[in-house]
Amino acid sequence: MKRTAIALALLAAGLASAAPVRVRDDAGQVLTLATPARRVVTLAPHLAELVHAAGGGERLVGVMRYSDHPASVTRLPVVGDAFAVNLEVIASLKPDLVLTWSSGVNPRQQQRVKALGLPVYDSEITSLEGLADTLRRFGRLFGSEDIAEAAARDTEARWRALRERYAARPPVRVFYQMWHEPLMTVNHGHLIDQAIGACGGINVFAGQPSLTPTVSWEAAVAANPQVVITGASRDEPARLERWQRFGQVEAVRRQHVIALDEPQLGRMTPRFLAAAQALCEAIDRARQ
């Protein structure tokens, strides 16, 4: 009887490992893999980072330019950038899964990738809930559910703590500068907008129809933000000088034009939480 029980357990384990993997992506398409993915190509820097966070880092075989976290991804073949994807390189890597970013990769390029006949997962994270859910789905795709679940729960707990600390504090009008020329910001659908809200801030251009709207300087000045914030890094320095021309803007008058050394604020990964904490602290200083 004992041998029979062991045999049945081994059989069940074998059937489980052989069972197909089915996951619905953010475009609503059901992706089916015969087994967990073993060779993965990512078409955005944050997707490579998410693969690692979900426990699938060893499966990465190709990444997009500017993928830099963790450091190991910088040694992988580069398959393209935001402007063009090299289909020949992708095909040569023989991936069994391609992860793409719906709003970050040119639609024409996305169609060319799908024409290769490879399994493609479309990702579009617009909330912290979506970030945690993506980690869990990636865990299923890679067969690393335990690691992904731990990362998702940690992300949710840190987000909950941030909101509990800051969200109910007196509101502060915020302009987040995504780019300087042309002047670009974010609307209510962007993860950065959710961070602003979690910090007790009010995004002055939340109501714009596009995710990263271009706005005129006249409109930005008329919005009269109490704090102007942008992300900066060694490769992408802050470009906030022009704001100093507008002394009538409260943020300029009170010297709350701030460059955060937190470029990951624009990346939809668990590291976003550390950047959101820095954002909250900056908004809180303006509040005081």
Amino acid at 232: A
β-strand partners of 31: 23
Burial class (CB in 10 A: 0-12, 13-18, 19+), 96: middle
pLDDT digits (tens, 9 = 90+) for 186-216: 999 899 999 999 999 999 999 999 989 999 9
- Neighbouring CB atoms inside 10 A of 3's CB total 7
Residue 167, both tokens: 């969200």
pLDDT digits (tens, 9 = 90+) for 111-141: 899 999 999 999 999 899 999 999 999 999 9
For position 7, what pLDDT does the model report? 47
Question: Could you tell me the sign of the dihedral formed by the alpha carbons of 272, 278, 283, 287, in that order?
Answer: positive
For position 18, what pLDDT does the model report? 60
Residue 5, both tokens: 């029980």
Least confident of 13-22, 157-166, 196-205, 228-237: 13-22
- Between CA 129 and CA 46 the distance in angstroms is 16
- ∠ Cα 78 82 83 (to 5°): 100
Query: Which CATH fold would you assign to the domain 20-153?
Result: Rossmann fold (3.40.50)
pLDDT digits (tens, 9 = 90+) for 33-90: 999 999 999 999 999 999 999 999 999 999 999 999 999 999 999 999 888 899 999 9
pLDDT digits (tens, 9 = 90+) for 273-284: 999 999 999 999
Residue 53, both tokens: 């966070």
Residue 138, both tokens: 């990636």
The answer to whether 272 and 195 have CB atoms below 8 angstroms apart is: yes
Every domain of the chain with CATH number 3.40.50.1980 lies at 20-153, 167-287
For position 235, what pLDDT does the model report? 66
The answer to whether 148 and 138 have CB atoms below 8 angstroms apart is: yes
pLDDT digits (tens, 9 = 90+) for 221-253: 999 999 999 987 666 677 899 999 999 999 999
229 SS3 class: strand
- Between CA 155 and CA 37 the distance in angstroms is 24
CATH 3.40.50.1980 is the classification of domain 167-287: yes
Predicted confidence band at 13 (pLDDT cuts at 50, 70, 90)? Answer: very low
Q: Nearest CA to 33 among 42, 41, 22, 46?
A: 22
